[in-house]
Amino acid sequence: MKSVRILVDNLWSRHELNKLSSRSRALRFWNSVVGEKISGMCSVEGFSESTVNVRAFNPAVAMELRYRSSEIISALNESAGAELFLFLRITLRPTRERER
């Protein structure tokens, strides 16, 4: 008979819940990774598996994020201590007046 700890550990790893929480924690470093100036002109909308979804508010910021995507992914993975992210998906969606 398996102990409860082994069962919970198996469940945890099977559903990759540990990666889910690690990814969420790693995204808390977004502002320091991209810098305050850029982070004020974009927002992290979330992630899906190994892709970080980012909303850029203007074309120049979207271009900057695309240019620095490998550096940003590396810094996020380094802050997490594991290779959790592989891609950065940037969408350009200007803010509406009500969102500002």
DSSP 51: E
13 falls in which pLDDT band (50, 70, 90)?
low
**DSSP label at 40?**
T
Number of domains in the chain: 1
Report strand pairing: 87-92 vs 51-56.
Answer: parallel
**Predicted confidence (pLDDT) at residue 14 exceeds the cutoff of 60:** no
Question: What is the domain range of residue 54?
Answer: 4-99
Q: What is the CATH number of the domain that holds 31?
A: 3.30.300.180
Q: Is 65's pLDDT higher than 80?
A: yes
**Binning pLDDT at 50, 70 and 90, where does residue 25 land?**
confident
Read off the pLDDT of residues 73-96 as tens digits, 9 standing for 90 and up. 999 999 888 888 999 999 998 766
Q: Is the pTM of this model over 0.85?
A: no
Cα–Cα distance, 98 to 28 (Å, whole number): 25
Question: Which residues fall within 8 angstroms of residue 46, CB to CB, at 6 or more apart?
Answer: 53
